[in-house]
Chains A and B, each alone.
Chain A
């Protein structure tokens, strides 16, 4: 090739930069191979290649309003206003004394199909009533947040680094937002700013830790952006809802070899007027989740999907005068999917449990995650949760996966 005039100097420099950038990107993920590489990656590392969806219910889910021992007199006496009556539950055919709130018709239908497992009375030792402390304990997968490695990296990120260290392995819906719009929003015809955004991020080092964090993030957005957007633009949902579950389905459809999708529904901190709050919260969650399952079925992916719902703590057994419930302790974890061993697990809530201030806990949340990692994703969970100074009882008491 030949350049015959000086004014091309700037262009040739740019072409050089682009080549440099291109080759760096090629090391990360060669486009045509990506799908293949990513999907076979997990199997080669010993994994199953299944998808795990983590749905955090932030604020503290009142599990006694989800799954009610509606005939229990202690339950009714501790919650004169909030206890669910027989009319307000869909009873479980295998446990007629228990019922799922009628606001959760889809969860109930999954239960009856054997695709919903409820692990009852889950928490961790020495409960902490702070939302933020307890959420961190669940996200980092450690009881003691002070000191040591692993306390700053979420447990599912540790899992990714350990077993399937590639860029799309774990996707957080809160981080990605709407995947169809992901990337630098350039408004010009030649997209020069979009291109410059990535070039600048790679050109500079940053003088402070904060500036380096900014540049690293820009680089990541630039590298992952186009592919996430292109692969989700054509996604069509089976429903109308545009919530976090819609975005999770779009990301799952992208075929990027993702093994874990994290999402969050908030607002469960129902200190007051809990009945009306739950009407909104529960029906939203139920319908969004139903749409997600339909989407995954339409994509042919439901068979390989497991969704785990969890919350930082349960709520008080007795209602307060507002009427709502304050921060409690033990709560339930809910697993959904064709692969789960449907039914009730853990300890069913007893009158003695209900006479306590809070539901106690019988199963450690890390035990539930450990079994999920082992049985559903096919990885050894020990290095993820057995950190220095961390011990927990890994026994759930029954098998969570069929």
Chain B
């Protein structure tokens, strides 16, 4: 049975508002658009490569946790509570000030998502600041992460960067110096665009061509690096559908792309038919006849397989919601993706407005990466790159610390990007993360140095215990933390160093260090490092 999923979503809204949406039938995938070969519908059950995945097994077993609302992609109610709005903004914008949370509550879910998905022009000073770092892609991207008016676009760029992980390390020559920035801009420009176009641009991206040897793959003796990771990491998933033989044939299909180094220009990709293997290649032999695939038609062939849309659906859902989507949820989202011609935005919109995103299983279940943690803190405390230091030496050190904490953008540990969630809990990375969180910038509309004074009580009373308690709660409130009495005591003891140095809190030489130490500790709270 095939039906239009868009209307299913809409028709469900009113039902769900009344409490209880009848479980939707699993929509069957529409026939693949533009299929090159002879695709079959759905994954065949007895195919050892697709059956029996973790998700497939668990899907029928959901009871208790990860059941009910956690598996519903029908639209959630429009009116958000304060906590729901904060949760939504942490997932979509890294973090949020109190004002931004209140605005989201006032707007409601639909308008908030509309706004997040509508790209705003960046402020001039932000573009100029980013450009001032020239070819240093890590710094340029960090400027946008911290200061962009389009945080969801940056977050989506982070999503794709971790899936299509590419490293600046391979751009070692002087001629290649601008390729990392080009790569970031390509990812950013396609982050919410059309997936097919994205894959074509990715395949032709000069940095990617160097990273996975796509431009260094002669047809007589091709290099398998790109073909393998294209399926394993980028489009299908480990051991899904493709075989070792498909990889060999796929490597032939991707031949013909070369990187042209012309006079003073940046290297650019060119498809040269003389370097392309024109023989008939057998790829996914159970599903398609042999053909002379080239890089574009092998992308189309891949997209024609239901597993490709499922892979994006499963990854995006896990990125925003939780990592236990049922096969039903994956199928429904894959349907949305295919029915919308592989446009990424409608898929993201569906996920961000889903019941599942607001279910209890989707709360506090993700461990942030060091960069996302820092950016979330900065956005929550209204911290900005205002001073010379914050744009210069301090910024430089911050990015080094974040690298030592396990995450330097455009320098992933492997072709698979970064391991996520609990993998971030390597001891040394956590300790480096604490160091990184000590690098503060300027806060609030007054751009105060050292501390977010706009949130704190007047400094004159900081030698009094009850005012120290206010300091603790000012920061806890910003991160929506409820503190027990014991926690409160512990934070106050950090402020006054176990009572030894309370008077120092009136001394401007000591004040920032002790309060920063307390804030930094609270930023490592298990509810702040997770989201």
Chain A residues in the interface with B (C-beta under 8 A): 7, 10-11, 13-14, 17, 58-59, 128-133, 146, 174-178, 181-190, 192-193, 196-197, 199-200, 203-204, 206-215, 217-218, 220-221, 266, 269, 271-272, 319-322, 324, 326-327
Contacts and interface: CB of A to CB of B under 8 A. Distances in A.
A327 B530 contact: no
A132 B414 CA distance: 10
Interface string B196-240: 000000000000000011001110111111001000100000110
Given A131-B414, A208-B363, 17 more contacts: A11-B499, A14-B498, A130-B228, A177-B428, A190-B500, A192-B493, A193-B518, A193-B520, A200-B521, A208-B364, A221-B431, A271-B213, A320-B222, A320-B224, A321-B218, A322-B216, A326-B224
Nearest to A188: B517
A123 to B, nearest CB: 14
A130 B414 CA distance: 12
A118 to B, nearest CB: 26
B498 A192 contact: yes
B367 A213 contact: yes
A10 B489 contact: yes
Contacts of A133: 238-239
A294 to B, nearest CB: 25
A327 B524 CA distance: 41
A210 B422 contact: yes
Contacts of A184: 431, 434
A162 B397 CA distance: 44
B345 interface: no
A326 B429 CA distance: 32
B326 interface: no
Contacts of A186: 517
B137 to A, nearest CB: 21
B216 A266 contact: no
Which of A175, A184, A319, A322 has the most chain B CB atoms inside 10 A of its CB? A322
Given A193-B521, A213-B422, A146 B500 contact: no
Contacts of A196: 490-491, 493-494, 521
A292 to B, nearest CB: 19
Contacts of B213: 271-272, 322, 324
14 contacts: A10-B492, A58-B414, A174-B428, A175-B427, A181-B431, A185-B435, A193-B517, A196-B490, A200-B487, A210-B367, A210-B530, A211-B530, A212-B526, A221-B430
Nearest to B525: A200
Interface in B329-378: 363-367
A228 to B, nearest CB: 9
Interface string B481-515: 00010110111111001111100000000000110
B247 interface: yes
Contacts of A320: 217, 221-224
A210 B365 contact: yes
Contact of B221 (A183, A211, A212, A321): A321
A357 to B, nearest CB: 9
Contacts of A10: 489, 492-493, 499
Which of A11, A192, A221 has the most chain B CB atoms inside 10 A of its CB? A192
A187 B517 contact: yes
